[in-house]
Structure 1
Amino acid sequence: MGLFFKKRNVKPIFVGSYGNNMTRGMYVFHLDIDNGEILKKKFYKSLANPTALFKRERFIYVCYKNHTGKKTDGGLWQYATMDLQFGLAGKATCQGKTYMSCFVNENRDFAYAVDYYNGEVVTIAILKQKIVKVTQTIKHEGHGPDPKRQSEAHPHFIEQTPDQQRMFVCDLGTDEVVLYKIGEKGRLERDEENSFQLAPGSGPKKMIFTPDGKYAYVLNELSNTVCVYSYQDCQFTFIQEIDTYPKDEYTKESLAGDIVISEKGDYLFVSNRGHDSVAAFEVDSSTGKLTYIEYLDTDEKPRAMILVNDRWLVVASQLGGTLESFELKRNESKGVLYETHFSYMVGEPVCLIEGRGL
């Protein structure tokens, strides 16, 4: 083999795993950006299950489930990262609440999170770059037609619109996308005029935008559809609804997992838990409409995805216990997404995010 080896070009990836008492926690991987290979580098054990990750500059914010029942468990934890290092910088717990999604504003003076189980949206103060405590709690009310999943409000995802005019929350339990005005001290005020409903039983779980901010895509977990909207000045106008997999071919239960869009805004991908696939769609730049292209099989229950370098789609399959990489190839006649045959075993991976480049 010789004394010298070619230096790999890699990007770090942080992965949150439910796992068991031995495997639960945060993993750091390197993704080889030349061939899509996944390389394990480090493991940080945790007592609680990480449910979601968010990155803002050198900090990664982790939402944890309450594992012990104690009021100091769960909540939002903040870590400083550099290369493979992962050090606790601050945490905010609120009576042991479990958050499903979080967001930190660009100025890094406020964080926001949603409590799926108690139907709450919270504002968290940040002082001297560290998260401190919950300063506001807003309760969502209502329900949808699904007696199991929609008996009450279940806010699932929170983020900011591309123009930074509003925060928005996807509520899986009430079939709503709720917009919030941002006031003094980061406090949120519900924007009833621009919030909107989806079809009963949809179960909206996440919304993303095209890179230019003109179009929005709502992923509906229960109906397994993507709803397309045009967006301008806080207003959403419905354009299209499309299935996330061929429903005439697969009639068993499936739940939409995750949704990502390419950096160029030309392709959109959705994972399906049950159908166990990633579906690829082409995005019409002039209308925002989606055209279904194909699907590729994944391991069991693909829950989360990220697209690295606008080329490598990394898929975390919770039940299958793997990370898999797929390559996005443009201008190919037989599709756009291709297997790399690189994967790595991880106990119940549920969330992942790209780290800082080396």
Structure 2
Amino acid sequence: MGLFFNKRNVKPVFVGSYGNDLTRGMYVFHLDVDNGEFLKKKYYKSLANPTAMFKRERFIYVCYKNNTGRKTDGGLWQYASMELQFGLAGKATDGGKTYMDCFVNENRSNAYAVDYYNGEVVRIPILKQKIVTVAQRIKHEGSSVDPKRQTEAHPHFIDETPDHKKIFVCDLGTDEVVIYNLDDKGALERDEENTFKVKPGSGPKKMVFAPNGKYSYVLNELSNTICVYQYQDGHFTFIQEVDTYPKDEFAKENLAGDIVISEKGDYLFVTNRGHDSIVAFEVKEDGQLEYIEYLDTDENPCAMILVNDRWLVVASQKGGTIESFELKRGESKGVLFESHFSYMVGEPVCLIEGRGI
């Protein structure tokens, strides 16, 4: 920062952008964790659109959309990341598949991804710290009631339960949260007993867990609701459903965007694309949600992360910005406050926090 300037306290934030031929790719920012300001540090151009990112230790895994139709396009790419630097470590294009989300298990023996367009869940082994070729494909079957979005299976999100015993997939097309068991090699086997459905037409997009592992929260994109479940030993018990925006006050189309829960487990946030807002809920002791407030965002807020359990970073695809909002506990008039810091990025669609500096 120079001889006469105080060193900033920052955290790296990686942003994936659709953009155009000049702006598409990965951006690296430093987020000043004292005031919420963004400092642009690096830009890495890509030929394909990044759809999702996942970080496990020093590696970042990026799902790319197939932009050309070629078999070498799309898939899952693995990068070694040291602070601001990216280095390609491996890739699995799987014949040109487009993955919507990915996950890597704790011991980094397998990567898992979901193919929204072909209705598949895949397992990609990691050998000598590098992803190799797809070793398992599971085809989801079924449909639901929405005539445009639910004519077939559309797995959208994949992750593991907090006890590391199960892997789950949110299937927007079949209105299911599909639970998988794992064998010794990490292969997936569908757990029919614990797989569960949401209301027809809901379109489950993502599920997150409370830090204590006792409750889960399913964000439904089409119905714009959050379903709360009690979780124990692989089993989910429904306890509550709430709306993500005031449906009686806003008549235009809305699609739920993203969901995050605070590290302390006391607050949960959801973005609304159409209503263009963040909604804040307090998480009660029994896991249920109580509405607090809405804050306006830029247009089409599709992704967000919570940095240092204080700064909510929101990426708005149509607005072309990333914005920061501060979580302040103990305030009488709300919990989220605008930092008034934003940065223009062409169509930002995904975010992850980088390694600390």
**TM-score, with length taken from structure 2:** 0.99
**1:315 maps onto 2:314 in alignment:** yes
Aligned to 1:93: 93
**Cα shift at 1:327:** 0.2
Q: Any stretches of 5+ residues in structure 2 without a counterpart?
A: none
Aligned to 1:73: 73
Aligned-residue CA RMSD in angstroms?
A: 0.7
1: CA distance between counterparts of 2:74 and 2:155?
17
Aligned to 1:328: 327
Paired residue secondary structure (2:52): strand
**Cα shift at 1:67:** 1.1
2: CA distance between counterparts of 1:173 and 1:138?
15
Aligned to 2:292: 293
Paired residue secondary structure (1:185): coil
Paired residue secondary structure (2:133): strand
2: CA distance between counterparts of 1:3 and 1:228?
52
**Cα shift at 1:63:** 0.2
Distance 1:235 1:3, change over 3 A: closer
Deviation digits for residues 154-185 of structure 1, max 9, x if unmatched? 00000000001110000000000000000132
Aligned to 2:228: 228
1: CA distance between counterparts of 2:89 and 2:347?
26
Q: How does 1:268-307 map to 2 (within 5 A)?
A: 268-285=268-285, 287-307=286-306
Aligned to 1:182: 182
Paired residue secondary structure (1:245): coil
The ranges of structure 1 where at least 4 consecutive aligned residues each deviate by more than 4 angstroms after the TM superposition are: none
Deviation digits for residues 70-99 of structure 1, max 9, x if unmatched? 111100000001111011110011110000
What one-letter code is carried by the residue in structure 1 that aligns with 2:51? T
Q: How does 1:48-197 map to 2 (within 5 A)?
A: 48-197=48-197
**TM-score, with length taken from structure 1:** 0.99
2: CA distance between counterparts of 1:122 and 1:164?
18
What one-letter code is carried by the residue in structure 2 that aligns with 1:299? D
2: CA distance between counterparts of 1:3 and 1:128?
43
What one-letter code is carried by the residue in structure 2 that aligns with 1:291? E
Aligned residues: 356
**Cα shift at 1:231:** 0.1
1: CA distance between counterparts of 2:317 and 2:25?
14
**Cα shift at 1:248:** 1.1
**Cα shift at 1:35:** 0.3
2: CA distance between counterparts of 1:217 and 1:83?
32
**Cα shift at 1:133:** 0.7
**Cα shift at 1:3:** 5.2
**Cα shift at 1:323:** 0.2
Deviation digits for residues 179-218 of structure 1, max 9, x if unmatched? 0000132210000000000000000000000001000000
2: CA distance between counterparts of 1:166 and 1:204?
18
Paired residue secondary structure (2:191): strand
1: CA distance between counterparts of 2:352 and 2:73?
23
1: CA distance between counterparts of 2:83 and 2:117?
34
What one-letter code is carried by the residue in structure 2 that aligns with 1:327? E
Q: Any stretches of 5+ residues in structure 1 without a counterpart?
A: none
Deviation digits for residues 130-161 of structure 1, max 9, x if unmatched? 00010000000001111111110000000000
Aligned to 2:18: 18
Paired residue secondary structure (2:185): helix
2: CA distance between counterparts of 1:3 and 1:284?
48
1: CA distance between counterparts of 2:262 and 2:294?
16
What one-letter code is carried by the residue in structure 1 that aligns with 2:71? K
2: CA distance between counterparts of 1:100 and 1:185?
24
Deviation digits for residues 330-349 of structure 1, max 9, x if unmatched? 01010000000000000000
Aligned to 1:342: 341
Identity within the alignment, %: 80
Paired residue secondary structure (2:192): strand
